[in-house]
Structure formats: structure tokens, C-alpha cells
Structure 1
Amino acid sequence: MDPAAESPPATPQADAKAPARLPWDFHPALTEERLRICARMLANARRDALAMASYELGDDPWSVGCRAFAFGRHRLRRAAESGEYPWLEVLDDSAHFVFVIGSNGQGVPVRFYRGAADDPTNRTLKQQEVEAEQLSLALGEAAADGLMFRFAVETGEGGRVDRVVFLALRGEERVECFWPVPLELPPAAAGTAEQLRLIADDGYAGPPEQTAPAPPMPAPLPRRKAPAPAMRRPQAQGGLF
């Protein structure tokens, strides 16, 4: 048997999580420092949403998630408007929210979601028209075809942030970049379940920590009964008074 005709030995497939390419390999605007700043904003936003949650009044994971998304969008928008980060701007301020990392109209559009980085949903993979147009400007039509950039905010026990991953996705199944963003989390205090506080990003350190539980609301005062309508005295007939 001709050895050349033999099939080559099977090689193991590369791990889907292996960062074959790093973010800055796609575009120079995607620097490590910028990605860390954006990731910290998103992690801090969820920290604040958890800190402000009131489960006694009806908050649940869905409402906290909505608030975390709104807080993240607001932090990024406020940072872009501050002028402190000239490389950051908002492209779509709707519920789809697309922001741009870069400047001079050549920045890279990015979106974020809460969920597993290795299992994005169909909603996450949906690309907005303005996002596709901006990506074509930044990378060229051929390189941008089917490509999208996402921040995945992964959560664990109690909804707290475990990590933030920057992704480059090509279509529905191809992952071209899987880069866990270093958040510089301080070491957790032993035996505590408090949400870790990250480095300040946009000048806002989050809601103040409560040292004591808030006092209970006073009992409402009893409602006063409305006075009974006064009865009209019948007028006398035929008299002067």
C-alpha cells in the first residue's frame, strides 16, 4: 500500500476558547487598556444594580438584569460624553445599544450582553445595520463580512460578575477571538459574599456601602373618616324667620 495514499493521522481540534487572535490583531483601536476600561464599566454597572436591588419590594433576577443593562449603557454613554475618553462614542443609544472604540470615524462597533461567552444567544448574534456599516468602514467589507464584536458579562452566584470576555464572532458558530479581560479585581475577603468593588472607571465609585440596615418605615397613620354631610333644616312655612 502506497504510504502517500494513507490518511494523515487525526489531530485534535483546537479548543474553541483558545484565543487564536487577540483583539488588537483585528484593529489597532482595540487596545488592552481600552477594553479593560469598558469591561470595568460593565462590571461596575452590575455591581451597582445588585447593591441597589430590593428583593423585599419585588426585585428579581430579571429586574436586576434590566437595571444592570441600563446602568452599563449609562456609564458608557456618560464616559463618551465626558471627553475624558476621546476614543469612545455611542453609535446607537436604543435598546440595542452599540458603542464604538476608536476615533475619526474609523472605530470598531461593539455590543455587550449578560450570559455565557461560549454560548451566545440568537439575540446576541443579531447585528444591527448601523453596526455592520461601521464595521465595514473600520475593517473593509471583506474583513467585516459576518464579523461582530461583543463583551460577554458572565455571572455566578447571586448574579455577581465572574468575568468579562471580549469576543470576535464570525457567523453563528465561528469564534475568532475569546479574550477574558483582566479586571484587576482585589482579593475577596475571606468568608464574605459582598460584591467586589472594581477600580473606579468614570469617576463614580458606586452607591455607598450600608453599614447598618435602613430603619423600618413608620406605620401609616389611620385614614380619617370623611365628615358626614350636614342635614338641611326644612324651612318653616308662612313665618318671618
Structure 2
Amino acid sequence: MEPTAPPSPSLPPSPSRLPWDFHPALTEERLRVCARMLANARRDALAMASYELGDDPWSVGCRAFAFGRHRLQRAASSGDYSWLEVLDDSAHFVFVIGGNGNGVPVRFYRGAAEEPTERTLKRQEVEVQQLSLALGEAEAEGLAFRLAVETDDAGRVDRVVFLALRGEDRVECFWPVPLELPAAAAAGAGVQLRLIADDGYAGPGEGASRPVALPPALPPRRKPASGPSRPQTTLF
């Protein structure tokens, strides 16, 4: 009789709750819109990167965050998305999904969804207050909603995941947000995501990557025919 193989370690149960199970404002359509804005923002940051002039993953990441924040701010102020508001426009950017003062606060970060950092888990005071207002103090205790923007080695967006995190080690929702891919990318072409410009801005065009033409050089100045010479001042 062959020996019985030892049982494999059991994996923790996958989170069963979906975003809209926490609050009806967290619909699939709204999360798709927000996720596409963040993906478009990183696409634009990569398109505008100039590694010859010193850009690196850190500077591109800072620009992608600023672009994502700006896209969400512009969409919220446009009036086209009544369910989108900005709660904190600082570097701790917090936006709200849902209107009438009863929306759900969400933050975003670039990194692995399975490995949120301590900085990612940190909740802002206004975020805690808004979450308690939307869900009640008991349900909001220790809870944080995040959109994780995952990228590949080249910095391109792989996926965006909606997370509901409670405390430091409890994941109550892990939901990859569906992103719409063009036919070429869906067929396996190695191109960056070209997503829908939900806020009406398509991103930098081809002209953004072209160097700006320098003005024609001025003709050399003629030396004065006569008169005492004056010392010239050189600016560095």
C-alpha cells in the first residue's frame, strides 16, 4: 500500500463580500470609472517620462499620483459625476463615492494589492469620520477602502483592485476592477493600456513627445564704430 501524501496546508478563505455589499454607492460602474481614470493617469505619466533628462520610477510614480488625483478632482468638479466628491485634496488624497453627504471615502495607491503597507493602511481623520457617517461607527471600526494600482516591471498598469481592509491583517474584500482593453491589447499585443478618457481628457497626444522647436538664432550684434568700450557682464 502506497503511503498517503501529507495534506496540503489549507489556504485562508477568500473574501466573499463584494464592494456593493458594504454600501450601495460602491457600484461596479462607478468603481470602473475611477479605476480607468487612475490607469489613464499612469499611462500619461509614462508617455511623458523623459529618462534621458533624469526621470526614474520614483519621479514617474509621483507624476502618476498627481495625474490621478487631478483627474478625479476634475471629474468631481465637472458636474458630470454627481456621485463623486473630493474630501481631502492634499497629499493624503481622499475621494468619496456617493452623494448627499453619505458617500464612502476611498484612497488609492500604487503597489501589490496582497501586500498593503503600513502607510497604505493608515486612515485620515476626515476619512474615519466620513466612513462612520456612511456605515455607522460599529461597521466602520478599523475599516479602510483602497484602490490598489498594480504595475508590471515597465510601470504599465496590470490591474486595479478594490480592497476592503480591516485592521492590519484582515481583508474583507478583494475585487479586481474590470478594465476595458482595446482589441490589440486583448489579443496579446505588448502595448500600454489605452483606456476610455472618462473625464473628457484623452491624455498627451503625439505632439507632447516631440521636442519644441527652438526660435531662430538672433543675428550677431555689431560692435559700435566708436566710443569707449564698456566691460561686458556675463550671466551664469
Q: Same fold (TM over 0.5)?
A: yes
Report Cα offsets for 1:93-152 as digits up to 9, x if no partner.
Answer: 000000000111110000000000000111111100000000000000000000000000
Counterpart position of 1:145: 141
Counterpart position of 2:194: 197
Matched, 1:182 2:169: no
CA distance in 2, matches of 1:85, 1:94: 21
Counterpart position of 1:230: 228
1:157 Cα deviation (Å)? 2.9
Letter in 1 for 2:12: A
Counterpart position of 2:87: 91
Q: Secondary structure at the match of 2:106?
A: strand
CA distance in 1, matches of 2:56, 2:8: 49
| Cα distance change on mapping 1:191 and 1:32 into 2, 3 Å | closer
Give the greater-gyration-radius structure (CA): 1
CA distance in 2, matches of 1:26, 1:53: 38
1:219 Cα deviation (Å)? 11
| Cα distance change on mapping 1:231 and 1:51 into 2, 3 Å | closer
Counterpart position of 1:12: 10
Runs in 1 of length 4+ with deviation above 2 angstroms? 9-15, 187-194, 213-222, 227-232
Q: Secondary structure at the match of 1:168?
A: strand
Q: 1:188, 1:196 within 8 Å by CA — same for their partners in 2?
A: no
Letter in 2 for 1:198: L
Counterpart position of 1:214: 210
CA distance in 2, matches of 1:76, 1:13: 37
Counterpart position of 1:127: 123
Letter in 2 for 1:88: L
Matched, 1:112 2:108: yes
Q: Unpaired runs of 5+ in structure 2? A: 1-6, 231-236
Q: Secondary structure at the match of 2:154?
A: helix
| Cα distance change on mapping 1:20 and 1:64 into 2, 3 Å | same
Equivalent position to 1:154, from 150, 157, 163: 150
Matched, 1:168 2:159: no
RMSD of the alignment, in Å?
2.9
Counterpart position of 2:77: 81
Q: Secondary structure at the match of 1:12?
A: coil
CA distance in 2, matches of 1:191, 1:56: 29
1:207 Cα deviation (Å)? 1.3
TM-score, with length taken from structure 2: 0.84
CA distance in 1, matches of 2:157, 2:8: 39
Q: 1:108, 1:138 within 8 Å by CA — same for their partners in 2?
A: yes
Letter in 1 for 2:195: L
CA distance in 1, matches of 2:182, 2:173: 26
CA distance in 2, matches of 1:170, 1:163: 22
Matched, 1:43 2:3: no
| Cα distance change on mapping 1:221 and 1:161 into 2, 3 Å | same
Q: 1:113, 1:151 within 8 Å by CA — same for their partners in 2?
A: yes
Q: Secondary structure at the match of 2:46?
A: helix
